[in-house]
Amino acid sequence: MHSLVADWSADKQTFDVPWGKLMMWIFLLSDTFIFSIFLTGYMNVRMSTTDTWPNPSEVFALEIAGTHLPLILIAIMTFVLITSSGTMAMAVNFGYQGNKKRTVQFMLATALLGAAFVGMQAFEWTKLISEGVRPWGNPMGAAQFGSSFFMITGFHGLHVSIGVLYLAIVAIKVARGDYERSGYQIVEITGLYWHFVDLVWVFIFALFYLW
């Protein structure tokens, strides 16, 4: 304990954590609070409204070749995002092995999967808007559904879009060899952000599409 106090008083680094990684953890903690408030507000609105809440299996269903497929697009979106967590983990692994080529490949694969997710989400929004769902109204039931859905999924989609750009930029810099001296720690920091985005989607998926 005396050594710990001495290190702090001498302005030394007490814990062996890179500043970039620490700042990312602090950012993710603050973002966790924001998403928690949004999701808690959504649950409160849904439980307190007297209007009929739309059935997710009907709202998010697709008609393919005359077959009614409930939640098929959402299932694909979720699979794509979970897969991207796997490719991101592989990128981090190869980064610490010093395998620049594989690191870049898996980071770009993660970015492509993220872009595919955003594209499918845009298609989902277009479908709902064409059916009359708006932030201020909803022909399928409770008016609060539209505002809750567009706000929360839009905020998450913004995070995914930023993550795709972040991944692409870091991958390019890795390919140029900018991080060889630092041991590719930036790849792990990028992975922390991406895994957080994927984890948040699990909660959104459970509350919006399964509840």
Instruction: Give Cβ neighbours of residue 97 (< 8 Å, ≥ 6 apart).
Output: none
Q: Report pLDDT for 3.
A: 58
3-state secondary structure 17-70: CCHHHHHHHHHHHHHHHHHHHHHHHHHHHHHHCCCCCCCHHHHCCEEECCEEEC
Q: Report pLDDT for 65.
A: 62
Q: Report pLDDT for 129.
A: 92
Contact status, residue 139 vs residue 59, Cβ threshold 8 Å? no
Q: What is the CATH number of the domain that holds 47?
A: 1.20.120.80
- Report the number of distinct structural domains present in the chain: 1
| Per-residue tens of pLDDT for the chain, all 211 residues | 555 555 544 555 555 667 888 899 999 999 999 999 999 999 999 888 888 888 888 888 887 766 777 889 999 999 999 999 999 999 999 998 889 999 999 999 999 999 999 999 999 999 999 988 888 878 888 888 989 999 999 999 999 999 999 999 999 999 998 877 776 789 999 999 999 999 999 999 999 888 8
Instruction: Give Cβ neighbours of residue 23 (< 8 Å, ≥ 6 apart).
Output: none
Residue-number span of the structural domain to which 156 is assigned: 2-210
- The pTM of this model reads 0.87
